Chains A and B, each alone.
Chain A
Amino acid sequence: MLSEHIFKQARQEDRSQLTEIESKELLKKAGIPVIEAKLATTKKAAISLSKRIGFPIVLKIASPDIIHKSDTGGVKLSLTNVTQIGNAYEEILLSIRQRFPQAIVHGISVQKMAPPGIEVIIGMSKDAQFGPFLMFGLGGVLVEVLKDVSFRLVPVTKKDAGEMIREIRGYSLLQGYRGQDPADISSLERLIINVSEIVEQHSQIKELDLNPVFAYKDSAVVADARIILEPGTKG
């Protein structure tokens, strides 16, 4: 398995959560478009990575102990030059050290700031009787407040994926609401099917959360990802 080393690493460190960088690496190897994240362990490295990737840039704390990154000062968006990168790097580390002095910090992840698209989420969890299932919904307030989501059991077929997308009440938002670009439904379908395949192949994945995924008129890309492993998993 291509991603074996990722699971092995987590197991060796006795972690049940993969970092964003690891999660995205796993997704990318499975053919899912992601906004790639690179780890910087020094400010200098963050700056040189930013220059190579191209501005605008997003910096995020890379720590297996911090789940809600943006609520804790762990994310800096829309950074457009090296000075901003340098400052943001230090601010993030300071904020995290103050709030979570015990947290293990791998460094700072550096990634391209994606152009705005329609935010959707794709999640996976396990049912005690029927095994893994996927969830699809629009991002942000629609999923949190209205619980406007759809579910299907793994394995999810193309037909199932299409129905999942069309079933949510907010589907018309994906069709180009008020002059917005519509989302490319077939890219989202492919993404859902791809996730279903990953889940089928890796029984050690307990939960998966792609949030947000940006849907564009001709593609879709995973902007943030979180994967939790089964406890005591054998990799």
Chain B
Amino acid sequence: MSKSRYKNLEFLFQPRSLALVGITTADPRHWTRVFLEALLEIGFEHPIYLVNPKGGEIQGIKVYRSLKDIPYNVDYVISTVPARTAPALIEECAGKGVKAIHFCTAGFKETGEEEGIRLEAELVRLARREGIAIIGPNCMGIYCPKARLSFNGNFPKESGSVGVISQSGGNAINLVSETAWRGVRFSKVISYGNACDLNESDFLEYLAADPDTKIIALYIEGVKEGKRFRQALERAAKEKPVLLLKGGITQGGARAADSHTGSLAGNEAIWDAMCRQTGVIRVRSLEELADTVVTLVFMTIPEGRNVASVGLGGGDSVLLTDQLEGSGLRVPPLPLEIQNQIREFTPIAGNILKNPIDYSQNMLEIDKLSETISIISRWEGIDFLILFFKPLMLSPATKRIHRVVDAMLKAREASAKPLAVVLVPSVVPKVSREIPPIVQRFISARLPVYYSYASAANALNLVLSHNETRARVN
């Protein structure tokens, strides 16, 4: 079984200088500018050198004609040069102290063409000769807020607990952007593409040992070293929760993966078996990955599967309950004595107080909702609570929408057990623009927010199942 050629990948996450080679001087909107924009936005604290054979300057920063012209050592190179000139860049790096090169450009093994395959092999040969590590090619590289490294100007500047290893750059951007808006922050995000040198196992072994990373999310199309990867998964999952989204599980998907990152996608049943054996949480879509990450970050894992749901709407109560019980959660009826305690101060009648609870009549009475949540959360028959509402139901009264949020946030304080929020968005323009500020209010209160009944039920079930399996093993 091969081991990493590097004892530690720490050097990737603390460069003291950086060169952007291949950045376009002419067109400010050109894609090669994204790295400079992202690094300036996040505030990389060490020298950034720009290199383009044409020379000149960009935003007041001098552009060197060659890496060799830079009068200082360069730790880390981000290359956007065309594939055919990539090997020459490695030779240029000789003697400059370069520890790693991130090759962003495509046009290598993933093309399936002889020339691309040859160029990629040439990169590996030269990099090993020079003792330089390669990330990529065909990827977005590293986002590490602590090191002030980024590949997207919209990523959060603050650090967090989630580490991401994504073969695809696009999927990394999607996952980070979507979950960042739901309050998630990241330790290290690595988009690694064709993995000609550093591969998924190198990064997984690193994040498993990284104290800044508490949760690991993986998007993988295919692996380079199957047995090492399995072992790395097993070790990582012993340390922290590991989530895996495997891309290319259908025949067409596998073909797409082959042309995307040149990966052999492998057998669906085998991947499933491996996740079960290693204790990895397997998810089936980017949305499910996001929902599960949000759950792990914000939810104190409930001790069991019994849930009380309180929110707006009778029909919604029914549909939410169907999703919850359909995912193996339980929505037990509240005992009469609990119902009676709540009836003392609310006029809620009969069946709607059993669980699920349609609180429509009283949702605007903030103190009553808090008192109700307090009583229910202290009942031993439930392990956690779900608050649900569709702002559409209250539209067009924006004020009422926010008053429901006020009530729910106050109720959070009153709850003795973990709490999750399902906030169903809408494309109705008047409602849709209200959604982002509401989400932000829930996030400020450190609540997990889901966008549909199905996704909440599914993510909670995945995390509970994972915990139950771990409890059995230990």
Contacts and interface: CB of A to CB of B under 8 A. Distances in A.
A128 B266 contact: yes
B226 A159 contact: no
Given A153-B230, A159-B473, A127 B270 contact: yes
B269 A130 contact: no
B223 interface: yes
Contacts of A127: 226, 266-267, 270
13 contacts: A127-B266, A127-B267, A127-B270, A128-B264, A129-B223, A130-B266, A131-B227, A133-B270, A150-B273, A151-B272, A152-B276, A153-B270, A157-B277
A160 interface: yes
A130 B277 contact: no
B274 interface: yes
B262 to A, nearest CB: 14
Contact of B273 (A128, A152, A159): A152
A163 interface: yes
Interface string A144-155: 000000111100
Contacts of B473: 159
B474 to A, nearest CB: 12
B272 A130 contact: no
Interface size class of B (residues with CB under 8 A): 10 to 19
Contacts, number: 41
Q: Chain A: interface residue count, which band?
A: 10 to 19
A164 to B, nearest CB: 9
A130 B276 contact: no
A126 to B, nearest CB: 10
Closest 7 CB pairs of A and B: A129-B226, A130-B226, A151-B273, A151-B269, A152-B273, A127-B270, A129-B266
Contacts of B277: 152-153, 157, 160
Nearest to B274: A153
B264 A129 contact: yes
Q: Of residues A127, A128, A131, A157, which shows the largest number of chain B Cβ atoms within 10 Å of its Cβ?
A: A127
Nearest to A133: B270
A70 to B, nearest CB: 28
Nearest to B278: A153
A130 B271 CA distance: 9
Highest count of chain B CB atoms <10 Å: which of A130, A150, A157: A130
B204 to A, nearest CB: 15
Contacts of A160: 276-277
Interface in B266-292: 266-267, 269-270, 272-274, 276-277
Contacts of B274: 130, 153
A216 B223 CA distance: 41
B246 to A, nearest CB: 12
A131 to B, nearest CB: 6
A129 B223 CA distance: 8
Interface string B30-48: 0000000000000000000
A130 B227 CA distance: 5
B470 to A, nearest CB: 12
Contacts of A131: 226-227
B276 A163 contact: yes
A223 B270 CA distance: 27
Contacts of A152: 273, 276-277
B328 to A, nearest CB: 15
